[in-house]
């Protein structure tokens, strides 16, 4: 896709979703972190259903420890892969990685989280990926939402949308993520992730995408192909 078309797509989606943000419900940084971990291979709706009750009791790492491993695992059992997620979150909360060695080791953003909440969540992608249960996609989501980092996490929705539009031509989400961070202009990186997710979740859906009412169909490679095949 030509750069001018890509910018037009970003402008259009930005106007379509002016308040685009995560649909996961949370009120503390730790809640965000574990909600994103739990959302892997699960829908935000499933996670929000669980956390509506869970987050009444869980606001920080110590709350999970106080609840106990078995009770926590049972509380999230309706979420896919709940056993492995419970194990990872338990390792996370009992790990030194959320503890402060020295405030001098923290940047200003991390210091604010520590001063406000009493624990540390790394802002660096590589540091986040050292946490149990945190892969690249999860790390990018947390860094983007919590610290407003200009990174683009790619889930199935983003991967599908960007390949259909012709922004990338990739087979795997991680390939898509790396290419998008090269292709998307810096001014649009902070909106790209959630705009693409919402567009894929509610418009450019996996089956029967709403091409007839698509606001960016005129530059879409997928739409051009189906129009050509219908002639």
Report d(CA 7, CA 45) in Å as an integer. Answer: 31
> Could you tell me which residue, 98 or 18, shows the higher pLDDT?
18
Report d(CA 134, CA 48) in Å as an integer. Answer: 19
Of 66, 56, 60, the closest CA to residue 118 belongs to: 60
Average pLDDT, the chain: 93
212-230 tens-digit pLDDT: 999 999 999 999 988 877 7
Report d(CA 104, CA 57) in Å as an integer. Answer: 31
pLDDT for 230 equals 72
pLDDT at 100 over 70: no
pLDDT band at 131 (very low <50, low <70, confident <90, very high): very high
Q: What is the pTM of this model?
A: 0.89
pLDDT at 174 over 90: no
Report d(CA 183, CA 191) in Å as an integer. Answer: 14
Q: What is the arithmetic mean of pLDDT over 103-124?
A: 91
Write the DSSP symbol of residue 20: -
pLDDT at 111 over 70: yes
Report d(CA 47, CA 39) in Å as an integer. Answer: 6
- The residues assigned a catalytic role are 137, 155
- Give yes or no for a contact between 223 and 211, defined as CB atoms under 8 angstroms apart: yes
pLDDT band at 59 (very low <50, low <70, confident <90, very high): very high
Domains of the chain: 3-19+151-230 (1.10.1670.10), 29-147 (1.10.340.30)
> Could you tell me which residue, 120 or 98, shows the higher pLDDT?
120
- Give the count of beta carbons closer than 10 Å to the beta carbon of residue 60: 17
Of 14, 20, 15, 12, the closest CA to residue 218 belongs to: 12
Write the DSSP symbol of residue 167: S
pLDDT for 229 equals 75
pLDDT at 132 over 90: yes
> Could you tell me which residue, 64 or 225, shows the higher pLDDT?
64
Percentage of the chain exceeding pLDDT 90: 83
Residue 173 CA from chain centroid, whole number: 12
pLDDT at 101 over 70: no
* CA-angle at 86, arms to 64 and 106, nearest 5°: 60
pLDDT at 96 over 70: no
């Amino acid at each position: 896709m030509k750069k001018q078309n890509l910018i037009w797509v970003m402008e259009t989606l930005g106007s379509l979703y002016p308040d685009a943000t995560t649909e996961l419900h949370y009120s503390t940084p730790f809640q965000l972190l574990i909600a994103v971990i739990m959302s892997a291979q699960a829908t935000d709706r499933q996670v929000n259903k669980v956390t509506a009750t869970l987050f009444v009791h869980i606001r920080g790492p110590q709350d999970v420890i106080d609840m106990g491993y078995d009770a926590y695992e049972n509380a999230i059992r309706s979420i896919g892969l709940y056993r492995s997620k419970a194990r990872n979150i338990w390792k996370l909360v009992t790990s030194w990685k959320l503890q402060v060695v020295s405030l001098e080791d923290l940047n200003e953003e991390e210091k604010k989280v520590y001063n406000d909440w009493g624990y540390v969540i790394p802002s660096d992608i590589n540091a986040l990926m050292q946490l149990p249960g945190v892969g690249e996609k999860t790390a990018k989501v947390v860094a983007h939402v919590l610290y407003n980092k200009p990174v683009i996490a790619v889930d199935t929705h983003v991967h599908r949308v960007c390949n259909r539009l012709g922004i990338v031509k990739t087979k795997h989400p991680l390939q898509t993520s790396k290419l998008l961070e090269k292709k998307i202009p810096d001014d649009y990186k902070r909106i790209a992730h959630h705009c693409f997710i919402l567009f894929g979740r509610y418009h450019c859906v996996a089956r029967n995408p709403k091409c007839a009412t698509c606001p960016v169909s005129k530059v879409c490679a997928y739409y051009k192909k189906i129009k050509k095949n219908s002639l």
